[in-house]
Structure 1
Amino acid sequence: MCAETPDYKDTLNLPKTDFPMRAGLPKREPGWLDRWEKIGIYDRLREKEGRTPFTLHDGPPYANGHLHIGHALNKTIKDMIVRSHQMMGHDARYVPGWDCHGLPIEWKIEEQYRKKGRNKDEVDVVDFRQECRKFAEGWVDVQREEFKRLGITGNWDDPYLTMNFHAERVIAEEFMKFLMNGTLYQGSKPVMWSPVEKTALAEAEVEYHDKESFTIWVKFKVADFAPGAGESSDEEESAEARQAVVEAAQAAREKFLGAHVVIWTTTPWTVPSNKAVVFGADFDYGLYEVTGTPDECWLQVGEKYILADKLAAQTFAKARLEDGQWKRVSDVSANQLAAMTLAHPLAGTEGSNGEWDAPRDFRAAPFVTDEEGTGFVHCAPSHGMEEYELYRDLGMLDQVITYNVMDDGALRADLPFFGGKYILNRKGGEGDANKAVIDKLAEVGGLMARGKIKHSYPHSWRSKAPVIFRNTSQWFAAIDRKVDDGQDQHGETIRERALKSIEELVKFTPQSGRNRLHSMMESRPDWVLSRQRAWGVPLTCFTKVGALPTDPDFLLRDPAVNARIIEAFEAEGADAWYKDGAKERFLGNDYDPAEWQKVDDILDVWFDSGSTHAFVLRDRPDGTEDGIADVYMEGTDQHRGWFHSSLLEACGTLGRAPYRNVVTHGFTLDEKGNKMSKSLGNTIAPQDVIKQYGADILRLWVAQTDYMADQRIGDTILKGTADSYRRLRNTMRFILGSLGDFREEDRVAPADMPELERWVLHRLAELDEVVQQGYRAFDFQGVFQAVFNFATVELSSFYFDIRKDALYCDGDTLRAKATRSVLDILFHRLTTWLAPVLCFTMEEVWLERFPGEDSSVHLQDFPETPASWKDAALAAKWARVRQARRVVTAALEVQRVDKVIGASLEAAPVVHVEDADVLAALKSVNFADICITSDLQLSADPAPQEAYRLPEVSGIAVVFEKAEGEKCQRCWKILPDVGTHAHPGVCGRCDSALD
């Protein structure tokens, strides 16, 4: 610039804003939280009238411990659902809640007792329950603040707690509906039992881990062989023929007597409870004889064994026999197996007191496989559901059920040889029962082989100790019994109603959730409702003393008694059930307390959370009119948890599912795809992410992931998320800076705007559909990707890049006014579209432009986008323009890299265009401005060979030429007229702007 040329910098309309490039989210976000609380954002949204309610019902987290990354993912997705639906015109309510009862809290209090040398059983139950309540209250307060720090909006001042008195009243009331509608019954069957915690567990309270178990091959001697109808002869046959049959039967008897049927089990402790052995009716079995033995082997030469042919070789290998040390003697048919009587390996043992002397039942069963084991299955129906169901259906349960295992996992004290032995020790490790059984079987010659196996095994998700199947007396909800409640629209039984709800009433996102829940509901057994604990809602019912569970008057079904109970619970909570005189109080004067037994088991906590629809959706003023939620949203594990129990409970009381949509997210893994574990040291706490990056970065990570599958998180991923955030923040900063002097009177109507601005409006109309459809489909990844790509590619790299010149250098022109008008439109849409995701940052952006004590982006709705903005013909034209621009910018980049030019304004390329329509489209716009060159020529002439081409864009070629003239000292374009105007060193456009 010449010395006499003025400095025109101050004459440019450069962006002006105090919006900082560096966000400083960790320090600044708490201030916005305080502000939202001060102005009462959530309550003010509820004041908006005439809006369609939308309710996401919160699946209650457990009030026990700090939040983990899964909590952050879950609550952030919920928050995005609620915020987006609010901004789409709904009254989007969100009542956070907590699950407060149950074993984890009880377990913590017991741990505190053990450290102090106290025994829980010696503490008054009401006092114990009060300590559990206090513990839960403390963690509710901690988790509430941690959730709020994530930016989660909701009715935090009035959440729902399953331990609130009204909630406990309704839980009991819902249970009483099962009592009164005929689906409640007491039964004895195998349930998953935690010996360490001394309680039954639901499937949802169990997780599977690898466990090393003893495995044994046990010999059951053939004690008798009595051929049945399958071995008999026809009466019309000759005496000789009948005699032949008799002789054949005798020969078979001699062949099989003394042989051994071999079973395989990984639970030696169940062998004392064995009542039967079963086989597969369609398998091939053989009789095998031992012909040689190695040293240290439990088998003897000449012994005979019956095994499935497919498994014989590997079974003998487990017994250390080599090939050639055993041979197959003959076939064994299913009829022959059925004719055998087996003896328990401990039968007749000295000191057994006849415990195992009765013959074992031996029959075919459908659940036997020939994939592993021996082809025979040992049956202890008290400890296995398949065996239990087999003998239940045969009407033989009274013959096969045992009660050998106590609630602490000890074998009953008077059980010969094994009384007092423990399956597990007090910490959940291996007890002494398995070894005792194995040693005794070896002593009496009852073992063929032994070993160990590592396999997936159920563990309690609280104590982390293995569980067992144990036959106990429990309370069940029958899911295939007619529900006597007059709500048969969707089926007569709980199962029918659940399946029909899944099939017809509920939409699943993703669809795979429907199939999973449907298959679970098709095959699930009756619901075990009872737990043998203290902290929870009791099974509020009475049983007749001396009556059997099958007797009609076994359960007391009296509405007046029920009313007294729920009235007391509303006033005092469930503690009322455990107070002195409770039985007499509730039975009143109508019943003799001596004739009735009060049930003191507590309800499965999944019944608590499953019935939340009643005391949250139905009973609260911010609930729903029909007690049904628009959305339940949880992790995929809740198909067997909250989704499942809510469906069962509501189908028993409402007659249908309590939700219209079920949305499911996956699990969070580390960057390498490994499950997070404290032992592996790969956990990421949301508090640490917030401390380093801020909550908005964590929220943006959620929005960028496909949450319906498993997601990964780690330092590298979070740094990538932070980079995306910075790019988006810079876009918003440019918009803010360019709107600093925007005035409403300068607004340009869309019809009067240049084509480029109308193209932006067209893209906004398209994007508005994508955003709103995506939010309604809970597709946050799709929404964010669409908005992010638009903001960073179509705006920052295209539209803003082109219009910076007009914004900075134009005077009071239509083009500059139209650009700012579009920027204003962009501002309102981008801030609101992104507010559900980046709730803190978009509030900062909004307040930068619209400060005020009551101002907030979260009080806004998505702006309505006129359908008239859509212009398909214009969009098609500008698609061709942008494609041609790509060729030009690529050609100029080659020159810049080769240092021929420093910037695109130094160029004046010649663009050769073969297609006449494309050429006409390019001539109808200022293509030089579009390509950010000082000049540009468009030509229909054939391009020279050396012209630059892009392989993917046919028919367009570029010949590089330098711009001629002088550089304008204001706009930096190189033009021939620079220096010929009143203002020195500028072009004509800038000279007019300066005037």
Structure 2
Amino acid sequence: MCADTTDYKDTLNLPKTDFPMRAGLPKREPEWLERWARLGVYDRLRDTAGDRPVFCLHDGPPYANGNLHIGHALNKTIKDIIVRSHQMMGHDSRYIPGWDCHGLPIEWKIEEQYRKKGKNKDDVPINEFRAECREFAAHWVDVQREEFKRLGITGNWADPYLTMDFHAERVIAEEFMKFLMNGTLYQGSKPVMWSPIEQTALAEAEVEYHDKESFTVWVKFRVTEGGAAQMPLGHEGGDFDTANQALLADDLKDAFVVIWTTTPWTLPSNKAVVYGADYAYGLYEITDRPDECWANVGDRFILADKLAGDVLGRARLDAGMYRRVRDVTAQELSTIKLSHPLRGADGANGEWDDLRDFRAADFVTDEEGTGFVHCAPSHGMEEYELYRDLGMLSEVITYNVMDDGSFRPDLPFFGGKYILSRKGGEGDANKAVIDKLVEVGGLLARGKIKHSYPHSWRSKAPVIYRNTPQWFAAIDKDMSVGDDTFTIRDRALREIDNVKWTPKSGRNRLHSMMEARPDWVLSRQRAWGVPLTCFTKKGALPTDADFLLRNPEVNARIVEAFEAEGADAWYVDGAKERFLGGIVDPDAYEQVFDILDVWFDSGSTHAFVLRDREDGTPDGIADVYMEGTDQHRGWFHSSLLQSVGTTGRAPYRNVVTHGFTLDEKGMKMSKSIGNTIVPQEVIKQYGADILRLWVAQTDYTADQRIGPEILKGVADSYRRLRNTMRFMLGSMGDFSESDRTDPADMPELERWVLHRLAELDAEVRKSYRAFDFQNVFQVIFNFATVDLSAFYFDIRKDALYCDGDTLRRRSARTVLGLLFERLTTWLAPILPFTMEDVWLDQNPGEGSSVHLQDFPDTPESWRDAALAAKWELVRLARRAVTLVLEEQRRQKTIGASLEAAPIVYIDIDSSNTKAAFDICQRIDPEKAPNVVAYDVLNECDFADVCITSALDIRAERAPDGAIFVTSAMGFDVVFEKASGEKCQRCWKVLPDVGTHSHAGVCGRCDEALS
């Protein structure tokens, strides 16, 4: 037969699409953003919501003080996927972006500008300074808004919420007044974390921990006879015998109790030393000493036995230079009082002459130190609580440290010394204290230690604990909301269990924090924020019932002024008279000028966003709060406290948290290291959809990694998915409704695809509702690349390209349409730009957008477990055939699989081929497995499935000596070449080629050409 040279290429139904192979995302994404803005997609969804159930993700407000970092991109992308997916699952899904505009981060920036200009903040009228802060925040709101929009984040960008808006400031003040009126607000003086550099109290959420090198000292307190014994804590009513105590033993008189501290600057404020009632203590005497040692022969020290060797070693004393004299009992310790090391020092002016209290306490440890703890209750919470519970605070509280971290000017020896330098480094206070202790013989040893220490996350300078008058919300005091009486702590703990946590560990984290937290410090000593809108009575004490003015009429005046003028109204000259005049005597009250903790601002956002806005929520509760895991001690925490304190309930139903973003090696990102990934640069190189896909591919509930190599891998996944979508679009061509085939009439392969779609629909919706985007993308990606590209599309290319108007081809194109509808919508929340491009390929028009669509309903009738089992067996057998054909290609026996006509021998039994055996049993347990497999493979047109020109199936073992056999799950494949000629149109090798009216083609192609 002569070779046929007819070119049949133009007769094939080859894929045709304008959908580009190269995405060009950096250039094209801004065009889609402009298009969505023209369409007003977000507003159209709200306008057409009808009676759809409201779903609202409440935005945790970022600070408006700089460009976005990769953490912002991760955070906002997760939120956007949540919002978009719930919209497409039938909700009216609302997202109101917001910004935190008050507080130290912004105030600090303005002060930095002042310092550069040699300008003093205190010389600027306060409302002029506040106006500069407002302008600064407004600038960065605009910058960040555009950066967020570039990420493809949908939301009400035209009307975000800002904590500095007048209505917001009014509501924040109003929410504060609820604490004022319900009796939980009080003024107290206790140690709080204080930033000397910023001169304000800090919340736990405003503190981060870094290594710091500190001075460490071992200090001698001389033993003095104390008279009446102190009962150790925890022994009340027990066997501690005070009646039979002996007087202080002679060998303890003038001995020393040694304390160890890493904060020498707190020693001038020492008021006590405590010990552990259950530890073993001994009396140690010095018998010899080296040069340059601060202990003398004959000195006696009381030390915890477990730590004595270490302590004396620090003093340069070898084991042979001291002896343990005897035990020192708890009874004996209880008879002791101590002298401060500076007692009687020349020039001390009696400052430290009082004897120091000495008693047992349960926070003492014998794991490090000396077994004794020096107590300065003004600078330590445990010490403060100990003496508060004893009713002794008035005896032990000092006010030695000023706002700027300097000692009060009249403090002997140390007045005016700074704990920190003005730039946040080591000041001169520690050295001055240590030098004075050396001078008076109060030091046993000294050194330095590197340890984790709290720092302000803004100034990066160390913080101190400092006793200072602050305003607190009492979280263990009974209060009422309506007819409901509770404490904030108890109700918050109950509400935590009414919330769904993702991951579940978030519940335990917040619960443990809430169980242990102290009262809420509400006040800050700054200028930019919402003031504590309250007044105190002159001459009254904080404990007096009339200390705070609680007057609803005054409150109403304040909130009315704030609504019209903002919180600046509080600082206008004559504000006190304006708010109090005609109601109470203004001269009888002092106006409070502290501002509220910014965590109270952000904690109140549920009130002026969810409750007050028309696009809030019907019940004022958010469906989701979603932030980083650090917000368990931040926004999640403060929002729960604030909402419980004013409404008695949590402001959220779901709390979702993400981890931190690290570099490819798992290291924290740092500008100094040079390993930061800037979202704007990723977008410039790859496009926002690649960054969003990175978010979707990662387990965001843990710490994630990102870097150049990781982004290359993400881009590769994107390309594979895009190629699948492109093939689908090209093969749909001019498909119309008239081509649509009913699923009941489709071939089994198409019905199997529909079954998979039904399975996926349930999985995708379930995972979106569970905020598990990693699983969403994984199941869709595997389906697109494995089930479709490598299997279904691979098989159906022949029918799509070469068939005429056959049921098989119409069915395949119907399935492509159904795939298109689902894949584009399922992936739209993750890849909004790309899926818009895909959607418009088939649905052009100015008003068209995938983001106006819902996930299409997928009929449950598409599920067919029996059919799925059959095709599970088919794919198992296909793998066996593919292995043989690949080997033949490697050996160059064939160039393509269509040159083959293999023989498949089926030998399935329970002992060697369990996978295939189990599938056959599920399909038909009454038949022999090899018979089941034989029937299944014959019914599916297995040659087409394997993309071979012919294929013979035999329900028997392969003959002995057969070559090119592979055994895979009970399918033995013997390779044979196809017989006949190659069809010039479909390339199958068949015996009938050349016997039809069209030269050089097979019967199927001849019919198509006719």
Q: Same fold per TM (> 0.5)?
A: yes
Displacement of 1:920 after TM fit? 1.1
The DSSP-based 3-state class of the residue aligned with 2:970 is strand
Task: Give the structure 2 partner of residue 241 of structure 1.
Answer: none
Question: 5 Å matches for 1:143-182?
Answer: 143-182=144-183
Task: Give the structure 2 partner of residue 500 of structure 1.
Answer: 494
Q: Deviations over 1:437-463 (max 9, x none)?
A: 000001101001000000000000000
Task: Give the structure 2 partner of residue 349 of structure 1.
Answer: 345
Call closer, same or farther: CA 1:348–1:795 in 2, change over 3 Å: same
Task: Give the structure 2 partner of residue 224 of structure 1.
Answer: 225
Displacement of 1:579 after TM fit? 0.3
Task: Give the structure 2 partner of residue 14 of structure 1.
Answer: 14
Q: Kindly indicate whether the alpha-carbon contact (under 8 Å) linking 1:227 and 1:336 is maintained by their aligned counterparts in 2.
A: no
Q: Tell me the distance in 2 between the aligned counterparts of 1:897 and 1:815.
A: 33
Q: Tell me the distance in 1 between the aligned counterparts of 2:993 and 2:7.
A: 15
Call closer, same or farther: CA 1:152–1:262 in 2, change over 3 Å: same
Task: Give the structure 2 partner of residue 393 of structure 1.
Answer: 389
Q: Tell me the distance in 2 between the aligned counterparts of 1:947 and 1:843.
A: 52
Displacement of 1:253 after TM fit? 2.0
Task: Give the structure 2 partner of residue 729 of structure 1.
Answer: 722
Query: Given residue 57 of structure 1, which amino acid in structure 2 is its aligned partner?
Result: H
Query: Given residue 838 of structure 2, which amino acid in structure 1 is its aligned partner?
Result: V
Which of 984, 989, 999 pairs up with 1:974? 989
Task: Give the structure 1 partner of residue 105 of structure 2.
Answer: 104
- 2:527 is the counterpart of 1:534: yes
Task: Give the structure 2 partner of residue 480 of structure 1.
Answer: 476
Q: Kindly indicate whether the alpha-carbon contact (under 8 Å) linking 1:606 and 1:645 is maintained by their aligned counterparts in 2.
A: yes
- 2:282 is the counterpart of 1:289: no
Question: 5 Å matches for 1:70-219?
Answer: 70-219=71-220
Task: Give the structure 1 partner of residue 922 of structure 2.
Answer: none
Q: Tell me the distance in 2 between the aligned counterparts of 1:485 and 1:651.
A: 9
Which of 644, 663, 671 pairs up with 2:637? 644
Q: Tell me the distance in 2 between the aligned counterparts of 1:983 and 1:853.
A: 46
- 2:338 is the counterpart of 1:371: no
Task: Give the structure 1 partner of residue 26 of structure 2.
Answer: 26
Which of 875, 882, 885 pairs up with 2:878? 885
Task: Give the structure 2 partner of residue 236 of structure 1.
Answer: none
Moved over 3 A (4+): 1-4, 225-231, 944-951
Which of 814, 817, 837 pairs up with 2:807? 814
Query: Given residue 187 of structure 1, which amino acid in structure 2 is its aligned partner?
Result: G
- 2:264 is the counterpart of 1:268: yes
Question: 5 Å matches for 1:635-674?
Answer: 635-674=628-667
Q: Kindly indicate whether the alpha-carbon contact (under 8 Å) linking 2:965 and 2:975 is maintained by their aligned counterparts in 1.
A: no
Task: Give the structure 1 partner of residue 791 of structure 2.
Answer: 798
Displacement of 1:594 after TM fit? 1.2
Q: Tell me the distance in 1 between the aligned counterparts of 2:231 and 2:725.
A: 86
Call closer, same or farther: CA 1:981–1:584 in 2, change over 3 Å: same
The DSSP-based 3-state class of the residue aligned with 1:219 is strand
The DSSP-based 3-state class of the residue aligned with 1:484 is strand
TM-score (norm: length of structure 2): 0.96
Q: Tell me the distance in 2 between the aligned counterparts of 1:424 and 1:307.
A: 32
Q: Tell me the distance in 2 between the aligned counterparts of 1:285 and 1:781.
A: 58
Displacement of 1:2 after TM fit? 6.0
Displacement of 1:115 after TM fit? 1.0
The DSSP-based 3-state class of the residue aligned with 1:452 is strand
The DSSP-based 3-state class of the residue aligned with 2:319 is coil
Q: Kindly indicate whether the alpha-carbon contact (under 8 Å) linking 2:45 and 2:852 is maintained by their aligned counterparts in 1.
A: yes
Q: Kindly indicate whether the alpha-carbon contact (under 8 Å) linking 1:487 and 1:654 is maintained by their aligned counterparts in 2.
A: no
Q: Tell me the distance in 2 between the aligned counterparts of 1:2 and 1:734.
A: 36
Q: Tell me the distance in 2 between the aligned counterparts of 1:113 and 1:5.
A: 85
Q: Kindly indicate whether the alpha-carbon contact (under 8 Å) linking 1:226 and 1:253 is maintained by their aligned counterparts in 2.
A: no
Displacement of 1:334 after TM fit? 1.0
Structure 2, unpaired ranges of 5+: 233-242, 908-929
- 2:979 is the counterpart of 1:964: yes
Task: Give the structure 1 partner of residue 857 of structure 2.
Answer: 864
Query: Given residue 958 of structure 1, which amino acid in structure 2 is its aligned partner?
Result: V
Q: Tell me the distance in 2 between the aligned counterparts of 1:287 and 1:30.
A: 78
Q: Using the TM superposition, name which of 728-737 and 218-227 deviates more.
A: 218-227
Displacement of 1:486 after TM fit? 2.5
Question: 5 Å matches for 1:415-814?
Answer: 415-486=411-482, 488=484, 492-503=486-497, 505-814=498-807
- 2:945 is the counterpart of 1:930: yes
Task: Give the structure 1 partner of residue 36 of structure 2.
Answer: 36
Displacement of 1:487 after TM fit? 5.2
Q: Tell me the distance in 2 between the aligned counterparts of 1:108 and 1:20.
A: 47
Task: Give the structure 2 partner of residue 240 of structure 1.
Answer: none
Q: Tell me the distance in 1 between the aligned counterparts of 2:800 and 2:841.
A: 20
Query: Given residue 276 of structure 2, which amino acid in structure 1 is its aligned partner?
Result: G
Task: Give the structure 2 partner of residue 849 of structure 1.
Answer: 842
Q: Deviations over 1:263-300 (max 9, x none)?
A: 00000000000000000010011111112212211111
Displacement of 1:865 after TM fit? 0.4
Q: Deviations over 1:895-936 (max 9, x none)?
A: 111111111111100000122111111111100000000000
Query: Given residue 7 of structure 1, which amino acid in structure 2 is its aligned partner?
Result: D
Q: Tell me the distance in 2 between the aligned counterparts of 1:878 and 1:710.
A: 39
The DSSP-based 3-state class of the residue aligned with 1:152 is coil
Which of 976, 982, 986 pairs up with 2:1001? 986
Q: Kindly indicate whether the alpha-carbon contact (under 8 Å) linking 1:561 and 1:588 is maintained by their aligned counterparts in 2.
A: no
Q: Kindly indicate whether the alpha-carbon contact (under 8 Å) linking 1:69 and 1:685 is maintained by their aligned counterparts in 2.
A: yes
Task: Give the structure 1 partner of residue 924 of structure 2.
Answer: none
Question: 5 Å matches for 1:830-849?
Answer: 830-849=823-842
Displacement of 1:809 after TM fit? 0.2
Which of 280, 294, 319 pairs up with 1:298? 294
Q: Deviations over 1:563-612 (max 9, x none)?
A: 00000000000000000110000002122211100000000000000000
Which of 311, 318, 328 pairs up with 2:314? 318
Give me the identity figure in percent. 76
The DSSP-based 3-state class of the residue aligned with 1:590 is coil
Task: Give the structure 1 partner of residue 918 of structure 2.
Answer: none
Query: Given residue 201 of structure 1, which amino acid in structure 2 is its aligned partner?
Result: L
Call closer, same or farther: CA 1:230–1:109 in 2, change over 3 Å: closer
Query: Given residue 500 of structure 1, which amino acid in structure 2 is its aligned partner?
Result: R
Q: Tell me the distance in 1 between the aligned counterparts of 2:611 and 2:88.
A: 25
The DSSP-based 3-state class of the residue aligned with 1:312 is helix
Displacement of 1:64 after TM fit? 0.5
Q: Kindly indicate whether the alpha-carbon contact (under 8 Å) linking 1:947 and 1:958 is maintained by their aligned counterparts in 2.
A: no
Call closer, same or farther: CA 1:804–1:400 in 2, change over 3 Å: same
Displacement of 1:225 after TM fit? 5.3
Displacement of 1:4 after TM fit? 5.1
Query: Given residue 665 of structure 2, which amino acid in structure 1 is its aligned partner?
Result: K
Q: Kindly indicate whether the alpha-carbon contact (under 8 Å) linking 2:903 and 2:973 is maintained by their aligned counterparts in 1.
A: yes
Query: Given residue 510 of structure 2, which amino acid in structure 1 is its aligned partner?
Result: L
Q: Kindly indicate whether the alpha-carbon contact (under 8 Å) linking 1:949 and 1:956 is maintained by their aligned counterparts in 2.
A: no
TM-score (norm: length of structure 1): 0.97
Q: Tell me the distance in 1 between the aligned counterparts of 2:145 and 2:47.
A: 24
Q: Kindly indicate whether the alpha-carbon contact (under 8 Å) linking 1:225 and 1:256 is maintained by their aligned counterparts in 2.
A: no
Number of residue pairs matched by the alignment? 976
Q: Tell me the distance in 2 between the aligned counterparts of 1:15 and 1:645.
A: 57
Task: Give the structure 2 partner of residue 239 of structure 1.
Answer: none
The DSSP-based 3-state class of the residue aligned with 1:373 is coil
Displacement of 1:948 after TM fit? 5.4
The DSSP-based 3-state class of the residue aligned with 1:812 is coil
Query: Given residue 324 of structure 1, which amino acid in structure 2 is its aligned partner?
Result: G
Which of 251, 259, 276 pairs up with 1:280? 276
Structure 1, unpaired ranges of 5+: 232-244
Displacement of 1:229 after TM fit? 9.5
The DSSP-based 3-state class of the residue aligned with 1:425 is coil
Query: Given residue 292 of structure 1, which amino acid in structure 2 is its aligned partner?
Result: D
Displacement of 1:317 after TM fit? 1.2
Call closer, same or farther: CA 1:351–1:45 in 2, change over 3 Å: same
Displacement of 1:683 after TM fit? 0.6
Q: Tell me the distance in 1 between the aligned counterparts of 2:646 and 2:965.
A: 71
Q: Tell me the distance in 1 between the aligned counterparts of 2:784 and 2:969.
A: 28
Q: Tell me the distance in 2 between the aligned counterparts of 1:227 and 1:321.
A: 35
Q: Tell me the distance in 2 between the aligned counterparts of 1:406 and 1:525.
A: 23
Q: Deviations over 1:285-334 (max 9, x none)?
A: 11111122122111111111111111111111111111211111100111
The DSSP-based 3-state class of the residue aligned with 1:771 is helix
Q: Kindly indicate whether the alpha-carbon contact (under 8 Å) linking 1:948 and 1:957 is maintained by their aligned counterparts in 2.
A: no
Q: Kindly indicate whether the alpha-carbon contact (under 8 Å) linking 1:635 and 1:667 is maintained by their aligned counterparts in 2.
A: yes
Q: Tell me the distance in 2 between the aligned counterparts of 1:109 and 1:933.
A: 74
Which of 802, 811, 821 pairs up with 1:828? 821
